[in-house]
Amino acid sequence: MHKIVIKGGVALAGEVQVSGAKNAVLPLLFATLLSAGQSEICNVPALRDIATAEALLNTLGATTLRVDDCCRIDATKIQSIEAPYDLVRTMRASVLVLGPLLARCGHARVSLPGGCAIGARPIDQHLKGFEALGAKITLDHGYVEAQTEGLRGAHIMFDMPTVGGTENLLMATALAEGDSIIENAAREPEIVQLAEALNSMGAKIEGAGTARIHIQGVSSLQPLNISVMPDRIEAGTFMIAAAMTKGNLLVRGACQQDQEALVQKMLEAGVSIDPEQDGLRVIGPHRLTPVDIRTSAFPGFPTDMQAQFMAMMALADGTSRVSENVFENRFMHVCELQRLGADISIDGHSAVIHGVKQLRGAPVMATDLRASACLILAGLAAENTTEVSRIYHLDRGYERIEEKLAGLGANIERVPE
């Protein structure tokens, strides 16, 4: 076990390259199951979740090979249709094999992911969509089993925009017989890339990125060759690092169009953000202005940036309110921020933050992926030393973050716990 030790107070400076997007790579890896051939996905970050996804592909019979930042997948032979509990419980995105296995093999058996730190995270919308396509769904011994003699296109209406649900149903309908419509679809940029990837394999998908997607089923798909988009959440995390440390950073790969809501709120907070070269130039102000945020599905403020933004508001010159409307338990970073001197109180789905002049270093504990990033950010701005433990959460979604931050002048290192 390791921990990260930070001596705060350094104004970050220089430039940082954002890695490939974790939440784009995962569905793309599983999309390769739709084609009996050799695919290649590049700009793949070295993350625990990606390793788990590759292990799952191997369990199903696909071979995977890492060559530099590329992953080569050969899904010619599928020898199993079962995603076992020990893999699914470590990475909920494993449920994204349901759509491809149903479409390719007519059968899938996936352990129910169970809840996670940030919420129950059910998959009822995924299952409702598969049933609309004619699949028979049964639940037993903690597994969901889906079977079909052949998926038939349907009109699918989600109760709420679901990223995973939209991705699973895009992959299933791509090979269904006839046309499908997905209403109330999620609109995240990662979904747009998945649709582009499927279309490059021979699928016929229109409207990805809007709430209404039209899919004309085809009989087979070619292998995939694609380079993954930059990670907008990693980019946002570095942008907030600049804002909190009065820094001056060029975040390469940051794309304003993919994070308009975050950029607008940071501009309101007094941060300077300008497009420069292939990224965004971010300059932190002397004192941050308090700003309220309400998380919602894209293009609203991303829930995956809520914890990081709260850390920034902990230093603002006044009171702000953060409302978490996507997940039911995504405030576990609050009590850890309080240990660093933040003045935050929780009121149901909202947190009220009274900004303080200075945070003070202390030992804190990560509880989930984005909470761990928030604590790193707070440690960078705090005086004295902050130690963040349980950083295995961090390694799920950030590639070598302490090296990248050290490259920007931060006094940060990973040490054995």
Nearer to ligand EPZ, 128 or 214 (CB): 128
Radius of gyration of the CA atoms of the chain, in A: 21
Nearer to ligand EPZ, 304 or 387 (CB): 304
Tell me the H-state helices in 152-276.
Answer: 163-173, 189-200, 232-244, 260-268
- For 35-68, b/e burial (b = at least 16 CB within 10 A) is bebbbbbebbbebbbbbbbbebbebbebebeeee
Nearer to ligand EPZ, 93 or 205 (CB): 93
For the chain, count helices (H), then strands (E). 13, 24
| 92-388-43-13 Cα dihedral, nearest 10 degrees | 150
Nearer to ligand EPZ, 348 or 416 (CB): 348
Q: Which residues pair with 263 in a beta bridge?
A: none
Tell me the two tokens of residue 184.
Answer: 């109330």
Q: Closest separation between CB of residue 10 and ligand EPZ, Å?
A: 26
Contacts with 204 (C-beta within 8 Å, 6 or more apart), sequence order: 215, 216, 217, 218
Burial of residue 352 (CB within 10 Å: 0-12, 13-18, 19+) is middle
Tell me the two tokens of residue 166.
Answer: 């939209």
Q: Closest separation between CB of residue 127 and ligand EPZ, Å?
A: 7
Between the alpha carbon of residue 325 and those of residues 28, 159, 195, 287, 303, the distances in Å are: 27, 15, 26, 28, 8
Q: Closest separation between CB of residue 272 and ligand EPZ, Å?
A: 27
Report which residue's Cβ sits closest to ligand EPZ.
Answer: 164
Nearer to ligand EPZ, 27 or 284 (CB): 27
Q: Closest separation between CB of residue 296 and ligand EPZ, Å?
A: 9
Q: Closest separation between CB of residue 336 and ligand EPZ, Å?
A: 17
Nearer to ligand EPZ, 8 or 327 (CB): 327
Q: What is the DSSP code string of 224-254?
A: PEEEPPB-HHHHHHHHHHHHHTT-EEEEET-
Q: Closest separation between CB of residue 318 and ligand EPZ, Å?
A: 28
Residues classed as catalytic: 116
Q: At what angle do helices 232-244 and 306-313 cross, to 10 degrees?
A: 10
Q: Closest separation between CB of residue 411 and ligand EPZ, Å?
A: 27
Contacts with 140 (C-beta within 8 Å, 6 or more apart), sequence order: none
The dihedral through the CA atoms of 283, 284, 286, 292 has a sign that is positive
Q: Are 336 and 371 in contact (CB under 8 A)?
A: yes
- d(Cα 209, Cα 187) in Å, to the nearest integer? 4
Q: Which residues bind ligand EPZ (CB under 6 A)?
A: 23, 26, 93, 119, 121-126, 160, 162-165, 186, 303-304, 326-327, 369-370, 397
Nearer to ligand EPZ, 304 or 402 (CB): 304
